[in-house]
Structure 1
Amino acid sequence: MSPTRRTFLAGAVLTALTGCGSPAPGTDRPGVDRTGVDRTAHPALRRPGRAGAVAFLRTGAAGPLRELRGEPDVLVGLGPRLSPTTPGLTAMPPFPGEVLLPERANTDAFLQVEGDDEAACADRLTELCDALPDAEVTWRTPVRRDTVDDALQRNPFGFVEGQTNDRSILLPSGEALLAVRVIRLAHRLWDHDTGERQSRIVGRRPDGTWLDGTPAHEVPDLAADPTGAAIPLDSHVRAMNPRTPGAPSPRMLRRSWSYQAPPTPQGTPDEGVLFMAFQDDYATGFALAQSRMPADALAPYLLAVGGGYFAVPSPG
């Protein structure tokens, strides 16, 4: 990252209910309620809503949080201190280039309410947090997803992208490992680039079409473009998942949400992406993708300011 971009981003950081579920057509399948929500599905595998609210918590009590795991519109993430027996769950290690805010990093728990109405989700999250004994909300924010369809969504930079890599993400216990990353975006820097340069950084056109002409819902033959003549080797889509022999794809299920928090006291915008990745092994999922970030042309426009590793219990 150039000194200008890093100084800009790091300086900004260092100075610094009912009705909320996602309705679906009714069905009489076991475990599916009258709104079409499958109460038996793991939160990672349920159809996400378009809006939500999230909170990071400090608490020593896992029991009250575990009692929320059966709620259809709620996701509970327990940190290593609250779920010490979950295989593979550790504190999120430090990664190069991040500037973490203590209230958003490696907390005891992560709580999300999702649905279709942002205000209702925010109210529901407040109710849940108020009912948790000895729990302190260190940071919270509303979130939203600009979905195109079940496979694609539009990110805050205005580009359509895919939503999943792998759906085989549950541990034998029925739990899932969750990586959460709060990423502040440098919108002003991004907006200074031309549309053509932005597309080459991402590897897609704004409508999701790959730079070699492959439609948004299909996967290009990157092995046929070994030098990156069509889709640059350092483009975001290619750096994160090269799709070539010898370069395994990260095994994780992604859920990206946009957030817009109040500006810092200095007036700096605080907005970006709340990135969530479910997996059964961090080494082959999020950590693998993160290890490729230094080669990603999009990295100079991103700054991680929070996040953590959590275990998401099964609903049963």
Structure 2
Amino acid sequence: MSPTRRAFLAGATATALTALTGCADPPPTGHPALRRPRAAGAVAFLDVGDAGGAAPLRELRGEPDVLVGLGARLAPGTPGLTAMPAFPGEVLLPERSNTDAFLQVEGDDEEDCRERLDELLAALPGARATWRTAVRRDTVDERLQRNPFGFVEGQTNSDSILLPTGETLLAVRVIRLAHRLWDADTPEHQRRVIGRHPDGTWLDGAPAHAGPGYAADPTGAVIPLDSHVRAMNPRTPGAPAPRMLRRSWTYQAPPTPQGAPDGGVLFMAFQDDFDAGFALAQSRMPGDALHPYLLAVGGGYYAVPSAG
């Protein structure tokens, strides 16, 4: 990434885009990763100081609409849990990256979620929120949501996200999007970048809740090979779909100390193997036509205990 492009993205008026490509509903379960997401929420990245802070955090796992993610320092025995590695083109902010823990509250109202997050943080001795924000989802129906670029997209589901311990692995990314850059493009170009029409219909005419007909379009004449949906999941032999359950939330934080807008997407992906899930998707980003419109400014890997 060139310094000019990095500076533009970091300071651009940003919005959120959900990086979701499928439509399946999550199965019912007591694990917080697989419950149906609510309309609003509040999240915080945490520094807990002494590693003993993991115990009070684990006690929150049975709280309704609360999700607790423990970083590698607090959950050293979790299989596959490490610090999130650096990926090309990032400008990661320390307060939002590889923190000790991640805490999310969900509900129907952003202000209620903020107040409940305040209460939970006050009950965690020694914990400090290094960065926090309210989040929301613009849902269309139970299986579809609309991103601020105006495109309806679904949620990719995986039936393999839980470890034998009952935990799941969580990748969190804080992403700013270059809204002005996006708005400068024609509607036709935007459709080809995403691979769908704004109403969620695939460019080949398949309904939003159905799968695309890539086999009839091997050269990408209709749905470009580098479109976001196709780059992330080519659906061809030898190119497996990333195994993860995705949840994306829009955030709008106060401006940065330099006065730049700070809004975008908080992307969450649950899985049982980072290499077969989030890291696989991330390896495909350089070939994704959406890549020039986004900039990762935070993230981390966490273990999410079961609710029981």
Could you tell me the TM-score, scaled by structure 2's length? 0.91
| Code of the aligned partner of 2:111 | A
| Amino acid aligned to 2:131 | W
Task: Name the counterpart of 1:181.
Answer: 173
- Structure 1 CA distance, aligned partners of 2:114 and 2:9? 28
Higher deviation after alignment, 143-152 or 84-93 = 143-152
Instruction: After TM superposition, give the deviation of residue 11 of structure 1 in Å.
Output: 5.8
**Alpha-carbon spacing, 1:4–1:193, altered in 2? closer, same or farther (3 Å):** farther
Q: Are 2:55 and 1:66 equivalent residues in the alignment?
A: no
Amino acid corresponding to residue 8 of structure 2 in structure 1: F
Is the Cα contact below 8 Å between 2:12 and 2:177 reproduced in 1? no
Q: Which residue of 2 aligns with 1:35?
A: none
Question: 1:51 maps to what in 2?
Answer: 40
C-alpha distance after superposition, 1:96-119 (max 9, x if no partner): 000000000000000000011111
For 1:77, the equivalent position in structure 2 comes to 69
Write the distance in 2 (CA, Å) between the matches of 1:3 and 1:134: 38
Q: Which runs of 5+ in 1 are unaligned?
A: 14-37
- For 2:295 and 2:46, the matched residues in 1 are separated by 22
1:1-316 → structure 2 map (5 Å cutoff): 4-10=4-10, 41-59=30-48, 60=51, 61-316=53-308
- Which residue identity lines up with residue 49 of structure 1 in the other structure? R
In the TM superposition, structure 1's runs of 4+ consecutive aligned residues that sit over 6 Å from their partners are none
Mapped partners of 1:162, 1:43: distance in 2: 20
Shift of 1:265: 2.9
Q: Deviations over 1:7-48 (max 9, x none)?
A: 3124679xxxxxxxxxxxxxxxxxxxxxxxx8x610011111
* 1:233-273 deviation digits (Å, cap 9, x = unpaired): 00000000111111100000000000000112333211110
* Greater relative CO (CA pairs within 8 A, separation 6+): 2
Aligned letter for 2:9? L
Residue type of the partner of 1:84? P
Pairwise CA distance, 1:145? 0.5
Distance 2:121 2:159 in 1: 30
Q: Secondary structure at the match of 1:309?
A: strand
Amino acid at match of 1:50: A
Conserved? CA contact 2:204–2:213, under 8 Å: no
Separation (CA, whole Å) in 2 of partners of 1:72 and 1:164? 24
**Equivalenced residues, count:** 291
Hey, what's the Cα distance between the residues in 1 that align with 2:11 and 2:116? Answer: 34
CA drift at 1:220 = 1.0
1:219 CA displacement: 0.2
Query: TM-score, normalised on structure 1?
Result: 0.89
The 3-state SS of whatever aligns with 2:61 is coil
Q: Residues 248, 55 of structure 1: CA spacing in aligned structure 2 closer, same or farther, 3 A cutoff?
A: same
Q: Give per-residue Cα distances to partners, 1:24-78, cap 9 Å, x unaligned.
A: xxxxxxxxxxxxxx8x610011111000000000013100000000012100000
3-state DSSP of counterpart to 2:38: coil
**Counterparts of 2:200 and 2:161, CA distance in 1:** 26
Q: Structure 2 stretches of 5 or more lacking a match?
A: 14-27
Query: Do the aligned partners of residues 145 and 167 (structure 1) sit closer, same or farther apart at CA in structure 2, a change above 3 Å counting?
Result: farther
RMSD: 1.5
**In structure 2, how many angstroms separate the alpha carbons of the residues matched to 1:269 and 1:256?**
19
